[in-house]
Amino acid sequence: MHYVILRDDDTNALTPVECLEQLYRPFFDRGLPVNLAVIPNVRSNTISTDGALEKFLFAKRADTPPELSIGGNAGLVGYLHENPGFNVLQHGYDHSLFEFGSDRLTNIANRLDQGTKVLSAAGFREPQTFVAPYDRFSRVSLNEVAKRFSVISAGWFELRRLPFAWWPQYAIKKMRKQSHWKVGQTHLLTHPGCLLSYQRPYATMLESIRKQVESQCLTVLVTHWWEYFRDDKPDTAMLEILHATAEWLAGNPNVRVISFDDLARCGDNLWR
Protein backbone atom coordinates (compact mmCIF):
# COMPACT_ATOMS: atom_id res chain seq x y z
CA MET A 1 0.00 0.00 0.00
CA HIS A 2 1.18 3.53 -0.83
CA TYR A 3 0.10 6.29 1.57
CA VAL A 4 -0.36 9.93 0.58
CA ILE A 5 -0.75 13.04 2.72
CA LEU A 6 -1.92 16.18 0.89
CA ARG A 7 -0.61 19.38 2.52
CA ASP A 8 -1.82 22.80 1.44
CA ASP A 9 0.10 25.75 2.89
CA ASP A 10 -0.69 29.37 3.79
CA THR A 11 -4.40 29.43 4.65
CA ASN A 12 -4.87 32.61 6.70
CA ALA A 13 -7.49 35.16 7.73
CA LEU A 14 -7.42 36.67 4.21
CA THR A 15 -7.99 33.40 2.35
CA PRO A 16 -11.27 33.52 0.38
CA VAL A 17 -13.57 30.61 1.24
CA GLU A 18 -14.50 30.18 -2.42
CA CYS A 19 -10.87 29.39 -3.27
CA LEU A 20 -10.71 26.45 -0.88
CA GLU A 21 -14.16 25.27 -1.96
CA GLN A 22 -13.21 25.30 -5.63
CA LEU A 23 -9.97 23.45 -4.94
CA TYR A 24 -11.08 20.74 -2.56
CA ARG A 25 -14.74 19.88 -3.06
CA PRO A 26 -13.72 17.09 -5.49
CA PHE A 27 -11.49 15.65 -2.74
CA PHE A 28 -14.24 15.67 -0.14
CA ASP A 29 -16.71 14.15 -2.62
CA ARG A 30 -14.29 11.21 -2.83
CA GLY A 31 -13.68 11.00 0.92
CA LEU A 32 -10.10 12.28 0.71
CA PRO A 33 -8.75 14.38 3.63
CA VAL A 34 -6.88 17.65 3.06
CA ASN A 35 -4.33 19.01 5.52
CA LEU A 36 -4.33 22.82 5.75
CA ALA A 37 -1.21 24.48 7.17
CA VAL A 38 -2.93 27.50 8.75
CA ILE A 39 -1.13 30.71 9.71
CA PRO A 40 -2.57 31.60 13.15
CA ASN A 41 -1.95 35.37 13.16
CA VAL A 42 -0.81 36.44 9.72
CA ARG A 43 1.10 39.67 9.12
CA SER A 44 -0.47 41.50 6.19
CA ASN A 45 2.86 43.06 5.19
CA THR A 46 4.80 39.78 5.01
CA ILE A 47 7.58 39.93 2.45
CA SER A 48 8.74 36.80 0.63
CA THR A 49 12.33 35.77 0.00
CA ASP A 50 12.23 37.67 -3.30
CA GLY A 51 11.37 40.94 -1.56
CA ALA A 52 7.77 41.09 -2.83
CA LEU A 53 4.56 40.91 -0.83
CA GLU A 54 3.58 37.29 -0.21
CA LYS A 55 1.13 36.07 -2.83
CA PHE A 56 -1.16 34.50 -0.23
CA LEU A 57 -2.11 38.08 0.69
CA PHE A 58 -3.71 38.92 -2.66
CA ALA A 59 -7.04 39.71 -0.95
CA LYS A 60 -5.42 42.45 1.13
CA ARG A 61 -7.06 45.89 0.92
CA ALA A 62 -5.89 49.39 1.75
CA ASP A 63 -7.60 49.26 5.16
CA THR A 64 -6.35 45.77 6.11
CA PRO A 65 -4.76 45.86 9.60
CA PRO A 66 -1.11 44.79 10.01
CA GLU A 67 -2.03 41.55 11.81
CA LEU A 68 -5.07 39.30 11.42
CA SER A 69 -6.01 36.37 13.62
CA ILE A 70 -7.57 33.40 11.84
CA GLY A 71 -10.45 33.67 14.30
CA GLY A 72 -11.22 37.14 12.98
CA ASN A 73 -12.60 35.66 9.75
CA ALA A 74 -15.79 34.06 11.03
CA GLY A 75 -16.88 32.96 7.57
CA LEU A 76 -13.65 31.07 6.91
CA VAL A 77 -13.55 29.51 10.37
CA GLY A 78 -17.18 28.40 10.04
CA TYR A 79 -16.48 26.88 6.63
CA LEU A 80 -13.51 24.90 7.97
CA HIS A 81 -15.57 23.59 10.88
CA GLU A 82 -18.41 22.62 8.53
CA ASN A 83 -16.03 20.52 6.44
CA PRO A 84 -14.36 17.89 8.65
CA GLY A 85 -12.28 16.74 5.68
CA PHE A 86 -9.93 19.61 6.52
CA ASN A 87 -7.22 18.76 9.04
CA VAL A 88 -5.71 21.95 10.53
CA LEU A 89 -1.94 22.17 11.02
CA GLN A 90 0.00 24.99 12.67
CA HIS A 91 1.98 26.99 10.10
CA GLY A 92 4.29 29.16 12.14
CA TYR A 93 2.77 32.08 14.01
CA ASP A 94 2.59 35.13 11.71
CA HIS A 95 4.65 33.86 8.73
CA SER A 96 7.22 36.63 9.02
CA LEU A 97 10.41 35.83 7.13
CA PHE A 98 12.36 32.95 8.73
CA GLU A 99 10.52 33.42 12.03
CA PHE A 100 11.65 29.98 13.24
CA GLY A 101 15.25 30.40 12.12
CA SER A 102 15.94 32.25 15.36
CA ASP A 103 17.99 30.95 18.29
CA ARG A 104 16.08 33.09 20.82
CA LEU A 105 14.43 30.46 23.00
CA THR A 106 11.83 32.72 24.65
CA ASN A 107 10.76 34.20 21.32
CA ILE A 108 10.43 30.77 19.71
CA ALA A 109 8.49 29.31 22.64
CA ASN A 110 6.10 32.28 22.70
CA ARG A 111 5.41 32.04 18.96
CA LEU A 112 4.66 28.34 19.22
CA ASP A 113 2.42 28.65 22.27
CA GLN A 114 0.60 31.77 21.08
CA GLY A 115 -0.01 30.19 17.67
CA THR A 116 -1.61 27.16 19.26
CA LYS A 117 -3.75 29.39 21.50
CA VAL A 118 -4.99 31.38 18.49
CA LEU A 119 -6.03 28.20 16.70
CA SER A 120 -7.68 26.82 19.83
CA ALA A 121 -9.55 30.10 20.36
CA ALA A 122 -11.00 29.67 16.86
CA GLY A 123 -12.40 26.30 17.95
CA PHE A 124 -9.82 24.03 16.31
CA ARG A 125 -8.35 21.01 18.03
CA GLU A 126 -4.85 21.53 19.36
CA PRO A 127 -2.72 20.81 16.28
CA GLN A 128 -0.42 17.80 16.27
CA THR A 129 1.55 18.82 13.17
CA PHE A 130 3.83 21.84 12.66
CA VAL A 131 5.03 23.41 9.39
CA ALA A 132 7.65 26.16 9.53
CA PRO A 133 7.38 29.05 7.06
CA TYR A 134 9.99 28.67 4.31
CA ASP A 135 11.06 25.36 5.92
CA ARG A 136 13.56 27.32 8.01
CA PHE A 137 14.38 25.95 11.45
CA SER A 138 17.13 26.58 13.95
CA ARG A 139 18.50 24.04 16.39
CA VAL A 140 16.55 25.78 19.15
CA SER A 141 13.25 25.90 17.26
CA LEU A 142 13.41 22.26 16.20
CA ASN A 143 13.93 21.20 19.78
CA GLU A 144 10.99 23.33 20.97
CA VAL A 145 8.67 22.17 18.18
CA ALA A 146 9.44 18.52 18.93
CA LYS A 147 8.39 19.06 22.56
CA ARG A 148 4.93 20.21 21.43
CA PHE A 149 4.04 18.37 18.21
CA SER A 150 3.79 14.74 17.10
CA VAL A 151 4.72 15.52 13.49
CA ILE A 152 7.07 18.03 11.84
CA SER A 153 6.55 18.35 8.09
CA ALA A 154 9.36 20.00 6.11
CA GLY A 155 11.08 19.92 2.76
CA TRP A 156 14.38 18.89 4.30
CA PHE A 157 16.37 18.76 7.54
CA GLU A 158 19.93 20.09 7.68
CA LEU A 159 22.49 18.49 9.99
CA ARG A 160 23.90 21.86 11.05
CA ARG A 161 20.45 22.94 12.27
CA LEU A 162 19.59 19.76 14.17
CA PRO A 163 19.88 19.40 17.96
CA PHE A 164 23.07 17.46 18.65
CA ALA A 165 21.12 14.65 20.34
CA TRP A 166 19.36 14.01 17.01
CA TRP A 167 22.53 13.40 15.02
CA PRO A 168 22.66 9.59 15.51
CA GLN A 169 19.08 9.15 14.22
CA TYR A 170 19.84 11.49 11.32
CA ALA A 171 22.91 9.43 10.40
CA ILE A 172 20.81 6.25 10.38
CA LYS A 173 18.19 7.95 8.18
CA LYS A 174 20.90 8.99 5.69
CA MET A 175 22.45 5.51 5.62
CA ARG A 176 19.06 3.91 5.00
CA LYS A 177 18.17 6.62 2.43
CA GLN A 178 14.88 7.27 4.21
CA SER A 179 12.70 10.28 3.46
CA HIS A 180 11.07 10.11 6.91
CA TRP A 181 12.46 9.48 10.37
CA LYS A 182 11.63 9.78 14.04
CA VAL A 183 13.12 11.33 17.16
CA GLY A 184 11.49 10.26 20.42
CA GLN A 185 7.75 10.46 19.79
CA THR A 186 8.01 13.02 16.97
CA HIS A 187 7.78 12.02 13.30
CA LEU A 188 9.93 14.09 10.95
CA LEU A 189 8.58 13.95 7.40
CA THR A 190 10.16 15.36 4.26
CA HIS A 191 8.53 15.92 0.89
CA PRO A 192 9.83 15.81 -2.72
CA GLY A 193 9.27 19.51 -3.38
CA CYS A 194 6.00 21.11 -4.48
CA LEU A 195 4.93 18.73 -7.24
CA LEU A 196 1.60 20.58 -7.57
CA SER A 197 2.85 24.02 -8.59
CA TYR A 198 2.52 26.42 -11.51
CA GLN A 199 6.33 26.39 -11.65
CA ARG A 200 6.23 22.72 -12.78
CA PRO A 201 5.50 21.64 -16.37
CA TYR A 202 1.75 21.14 -16.63
CA ALA A 203 2.02 18.41 -19.26
CA THR A 204 3.98 16.08 -16.97
CA MET A 205 2.75 17.15 -13.51
CA LEU A 206 0.25 14.34 -12.93
CA GLU A 207 2.66 11.68 -14.21
CA SER A 208 5.36 13.01 -11.86
CA ILE A 209 2.95 12.68 -8.96
CA ARG A 210 2.07 9.11 -9.95
CA LYS A 211 5.71 8.08 -10.17
CA GLN A 212 6.53 9.68 -6.83
CA VAL A 213 3.61 8.08 -5.00
CA GLU A 214 4.32 4.65 -6.44
CA SER A 215 8.01 4.87 -5.51
CA GLN A 216 7.50 5.30 -1.74
CA CYS A 217 5.44 3.93 1.11
CA LEU A 218 4.50 7.47 2.21
CA THR A 219 4.50 10.65 0.13
CA VAL A 220 3.68 14.14 1.36
CA LEU A 221 2.22 16.12 -1.56
CA VAL A 222 2.59 19.86 -0.99
CA THR A 223 0.73 22.63 -2.77
CA HIS A 224 -0.35 26.24 -2.10
CA TRP A 225 -3.96 27.34 -2.57
CA TRP A 226 -3.01 30.78 -3.90
CA GLU A 227 -1.02 29.30 -6.81
CA TYR A 228 -4.32 28.36 -8.45
CA PHE A 229 -5.63 31.96 -8.36
CA ARG A 230 -2.96 34.19 -9.80
CA ASP A 231 -3.53 37.46 -11.65
CA ASP A 232 -7.05 37.81 -10.20
CA LYS A 233 -8.40 34.73 -11.99
CA PRO A 234 -8.39 30.95 -11.55
CA ASP A 235 -5.78 28.92 -13.38
CA THR A 236 -8.23 26.43 -14.90
CA ALA A 237 -5.51 24.20 -16.32
CA MET A 238 -3.86 23.81 -12.93
CA LEU A 239 -7.22 23.26 -11.24
CA GLU A 240 -7.91 20.45 -13.69
CA ILE A 241 -4.60 18.81 -12.81
CA LEU A 242 -5.39 19.01 -9.10
CA HIS A 243 -8.81 17.46 -9.62
CA ALA A 244 -7.36 14.78 -11.88
CA THR A 245 -4.96 14.02 -9.04
CA ALA A 246 -7.93 13.55 -6.70
CA GLU A 247 -9.56 11.19 -9.20
CA TRP A 248 -6.38 9.13 -9.57
CA LEU A 249 -5.77 8.94 -5.81
CA ALA A 250 -9.34 7.85 -5.10
CA GLY A 251 -9.43 5.34 -7.95
CA ASN A 252 -6.14 3.57 -7.25
CA PRO A 253 -6.73 0.55 -4.96
CA ASN A 254 -3.04 0.56 -4.00
CA VAL A 255 -3.13 4.15 -2.69
CA ARG A 256 -4.64 5.41 0.53
CA VAL A 257 -4.90 9.13 1.31
CA ILE A 258 -4.51 9.88 5.02
CA SER A 259 -4.14 12.88 7.31
CA PHE A 260 -1.16 13.80 9.47
CA ASP A 261 -3.31 12.92 12.48
CA ASP A 262 -3.75 9.41 11.05
CA LEU A 263 0.02 9.09 10.93
CA ALA A 264 0.37 10.31 14.51
CA ARG A 265 -2.14 7.66 15.62
CA CYS A 266 -0.81 4.76 13.54
CA GLY A 267 2.91 5.36 13.99
CA ASP A 268 5.90 4.87 11.71
CA ASN A 269 4.77 1.45 10.47
CA LEU A 270 3.12 3.35 7.58
CA TRP A 271 6.47 4.30 6.09
CA ARG A 272 9.01 1.75 7.33
C-beta atoms surrounding 164 within 10 Å: 8
Question: For residue 48, what is the DSSP state?
Answer: -
Mean pLDDT of 105-132: 97
Q: Of 218, 207, 195, 231, which Cα lies nearest the Cα of 270?
A: 218
pLDDT exceeds 70 at position 167: yes
Mean pLDDT of 193-204: 97
- Domains of the chain, CATH where assigned: 2-270 (3.20.20.370)
Any idea how long the chain is? 272
Question: Given this model, what pLDDT does residue 101 score?
Answer: 94
Predicted structure pTM score = 0.96
Question: Given this model, what pLDDT does residue 269 score?
Answer: 66
Computed from CA positions of residues 21, 228, 12, 74, in that sequence, does the dihedral angle turn out positive or negative? negative
Return mean pLDDT, the chain.
95
pLDDT exceeds 80 at position 134: yes
Mean pLDDT of 158-185: 94
In the chain, the percentage of residues whose pLDDT exceeds 70 is: 98
